[in-house]
Amino acid sequence: MHRSGATMAWNVFKFCTALRALGSIMILLVLGVVGVTYYSVVFTNYGPALYDGGFNSLTAAVILFFFHCFLIMLLWSYFSVVLTDPGSVPPNWRPAMDEERGEADPLNGSEFNGSQPDPLNQRIRYCRKCNQLKPPRCHHCSVCGRCVLKMDHHCVWVVNCVGAQNYKYFLLFLFYTFLETSLVTMALLPHFIAFFSDGEIPGTPGTLATTFLAFVLNLAFALSVLGFLIMHISLVSANTTTIEAYEKKSTPKWRYDLGRKKNFEQVFGTDKLYWFIPGYSDEDLRRMPALQGLEYPSKPDFDSQDF
């Protein structure tokens, strides 16, 4: 039995190492899809159409305008997820105690809605892998090899964990990816249909193949990203993460649910001007440590919600 456990641990380690190596390849894959799409839309189809004159030129100009706007926001959001630390536990972190009341002051839903803290849900957890206390909503990522604040999941597409500090950027990446791929799919649909028509199709075999590939790739991404986007919107509306969604099913009242508006503001901030860009206002940045939930109660709990 002991030998079997050791073998399983070794296999998990190898799997995590493989995921780290896969991450860099996934970034190149994303950039490759962007490159193929850009070549097909701009250089092969709608760039030359700008010189046709009349309605064709107007249509091409509109498509290229929105194509570049969505692409800029997509790449901005994507690299914000890749390069932003998802949230690490501060060194020697300890829960803050309220000396007057003789109790901990948890940073969870009870602080925002004015209700009394629920002592059954207030427990200090300890990560045996990092040898440190874990704040609420914090989980250990076996791929990154550390605890991540408000961890949602580890995403190989962005070579990073999605957590407290970059979850908004991840959602914007999904949002702009859906808009971009949907636009490209609709823009290339007439050219895709032309493949199966009896008429003569302009272009070289290489450009036709690129157009065909770009259409199929963008259609596939649009459909798959739509599913993830709907799922994460529902998670944000309930103020939960992908990991916590399983825990929530067994909880009568989810303690972090503050109502849809406040749940949304916890992720996207309170300043509406920053909702659709991968960034926060100065005021929201000052509130960020509180939203990460770096304080909470007393009894150490050696539970192993590690991933």
Residue 15, SS3 per DSSP: helix
Cβ distance 130 to 140 under 8 Å? yes
Q: Catalytic annotation on 155?
A: yes
**Of 127, 138, 144, 155, catalytic:** 155
SS3 (DSSP) at 101: coil
Tokens representing residue 172 in the block: 């914007």
- Distance of CA 228 to CAs 150, 177, 225, 242, 305, Å? 18, 11, 5, 11, 23
Nearest Cα residue to 72 out of 173, 217, 158: 173
SS3 of 288-303: HHHHHCCCCCCCEECC
Q: Which residues, in sequence order, are bridge partners of residue 104? A: 97
CA distance 154 to 128: 20
At 205, list the tokens.
């075999």
Question: Mind telling me the catalytic residues?
Answer: 155
